[in-house]
Amino acid sequence: MLRALIDHPQRSGDPLSLTVNFCAPIAQGDFDLDVRLVKANRSMQHWFVELMQGAAEVATLATAVFAERRPSWSHQPAEFPQTTSFEQTLPYAKAAAPWVKQYDFRFVEGEPKFNAAPNTTPQTAFSKLWIGDRVPRKIDVLSLMSMSDAFFGRIFHARGELVPFGTVSMTTYFHADAADLAAEDIRRVLAVADANIFHKSYGDQTGKLWSPSGRLLATTTQIAYFKA
Amino acid sequence: MLRALIDHPQRSGDPLSLTVNFCAPIAQGDFDLDVRLVKANRSMQHWFVELMQGAAEVATLATAVFAERRPSWSHQPAEFPQTTSFEQTLPYAKAAAPWVKQYDFRFVEGEPKFNAAPNTTPQTAFSKLWIGDRVPRKIDVLSLMSMSDAFFGRIFHARGELVPFGTVSMTTYFHADAADLAAEDIRRVLAVADANIFHKSYGDQTGKLWSPSGRLLATTTQIAYFKA
């Protein structure tokens, strides 16, 4: 959906925010996108995208903002986390799910541990990990968007078991534009994720994606369904 | 926009997430809402709302998810912040902007200080404050949504001055349903807000709204334009 916007002839500027609402499961195979530029001015564009499969049933909705990012005062209060380097960190070996196989995950903290029985007391939902593409590839906004949803469900960490789980809505803000990303050859990000609450079948996730040099590239949040 | 969804005859369940994209300034006066239920199943609804003024120009877009929140395992890793009580905290007296006059703000930390010249080194963007309605009113999801956007611009705190500023996109997740909110007579929330980055004319904000008893009611994030 983001690629369709980036490639759209009317697009101008770089992605600033993207919210994706997952309405129904997406099957492997063809899909149609209905893309609409709702509003635009000289420096900003507001987009609405619907993904349809089968009998024109909407499976996913997205709203996006693109912006011409002009020079300004810059300040990054968020601090780059203490970490071992990518090279010093062991790859995550237990890649079962197809999405996990797309990535080279290297956990610095909070590697998921799935036990025969759930944790009797909840464990931390915090993770810190390097994420790179399994086939190394320079990071662009498409990678950042995809990596924003590459985290394991926070509830898996807290409970120490896999439970039925699905992202309902997610939002990512991009803090680097195309020029910023082109200026560095970034091939992996340091990613942190955490949860604030699990309640009445829904839990949240917050995350940050950093360049190895300490630049905050994207922040992300999501709300997800679980059954436990 | 949220009220229109709540009052809609097809609505079922409680608000789970709401994303609002501000496309153009909203003038005082009449507006039209175009409300569409995009997808629904037994436990969830996906909505799309457009607010129009004047010659059918879209001024605001929103996507919302409503959900029937079923009992589940509950766990709140986020910790209620240390704070003085509402009664022990001094009201913020410098209410100039109309929106500020709607609220009884009581800063525990990070009261904004506007000086003749901007700070030479950036100050913290973190604030902790009680927010109640100026005319006390029991908190519902409409209050939570409104209070999610009641914070002062983070850049005002960091720079110690008012600069041109506008929210572009904001997302709020509701962690309490109508039954949870009805069970407590909540008339104010403890609110915290912070920023991760200001870069190329855009900065972010993250926030949490807590009940006085320590329940996390909502989490919120936004990306905003600034000129500095």
Give B204's contacts in chain A (Cβ within 8 Å). 173, 175, 219
Residue A86 has pLDDT above 90, yes or no: yes
* Inter-chain residue contact B199 with A76, CB threshold 8 Å: yes
**Which tokens is B205 given?**
């904000």
Closest CA to B112 of B93, B138, B131, B88: B93
Residue of A38, A68, A73 for testing the chain B interface, max B β-carbons within 10 Å: A73
Mean pLDDT value of segment A132-137: 94
The pLDDT of residue A118 is: 82
Q: Least CA distance to B24: which residue of chain A? A: A39
The pLDDT of residue A137 is: 93
* Inter-chain residue contact A124 with B77, CB threshold 8 Å: yes
Tell me, yes or no, if A41 comes closer than 8 A to chain B by beta carbon: yes
**A8-32: burial string, b at 16+ Cβ within 10 Å, e else:** beebebbbbbbbbbbbbeeeeeeee
To the nearest whole number, what is the mean pLDDT of chain A? 95
Residue A90 has pLDDT above 80, yes or no: yes
- Residues A6-18 pLDDT 10s: 999 999 999 999 9
A151 and A193 Cβ atoms separated by less than 8 Å? yes
- Residues A206-227 pLDDT 10s: 999 999 999 999 999 999 999 9
Tell me, yes or no, if A121 comes closer than 8 A to chain B by beta carbon: no
Looking only at the bridges linking them, the beta strands covering B14-22 and B57-67 are antiparallel
Per-residue pLDDT tens listing for chain B (228 residues) = 999 999 999 999 999 999 999 999 999 999 999 999 999 999 999 999 999 998 778 899 999 999 999 999 999 999 999 999 999 999 998 767 788 889 999 999 999 888 777 888 999 999 999 999 999 999 999 999 999 999 999 999 999 999 999 999 999 999 999 999 999 999 999 999 999 999 999 999 999 999 999 999 999 999 999 999
The C-alpha atoms of residue B85 and residue A159 are separated, in whole angstroms, by 34
- What is the gyration radius of the CA atoms in chain B, in angstroms? 18
The pLDDT of residue A113 is: 85
Give A169's contacts in chain B (Cβ within 8 Å). 16-17, 19, 63, 65, 171, 173
Tell me, yes or no, if A178 comes closer than 8 A to chain B by beta carbon: no
B131 and B193 Cβ atoms separated by less than 8 Å? no
Tell me, yes or no, if A37 comes closer than 8 A to chain B by beta carbon: no
Task: Give the residue, A21 or B118, on which the prediction is more confident.
Answer: A21
ipTM: 0.97
* Inter-chain residue contact B194 with A219, CB threshold 8 Å: no
Model pTM above 0.90: yes
Is the alpha carbon torsion for A71, B168, B176, B147 positive or negative? positive
The pLDDT of residue A223 is: 98
Give B24's contacts in chain A (Cβ within 8 Å). 39, 41
A109 beta partners: A128
CA distances from B164 to A82, B10, B20, B202 (A): 35, 40, 20, 11
Burial of A60 (0-12, 13-18, 19+ CB in 10 A): buried
* Inter-chain residue contact A199 with B206, CB threshold 8 Å: no
Closest CA to B205 of B187, B184, B224: B224
Residue A183 has pLDDT above 90, yes or no: yes
A125 and A111 Cβ atoms separated by less than 8 Å? no
Our CA-based measurement puts residue A30 at a distance from the nearest CA of chain B, in whole angstroms, of: 20
Amino acid A93 reads A
* Inter-chain residue contact A202 with B124, CB threshold 8 Å: no
Amino acid A69 reads R
Give A202's contacts in chain B (Cβ within 8 Å). 16, 67, 69, 175
Our CA-based measurement puts residue B211 at a distance from the nearest CA of chain A, in whole angstroms, of: 14
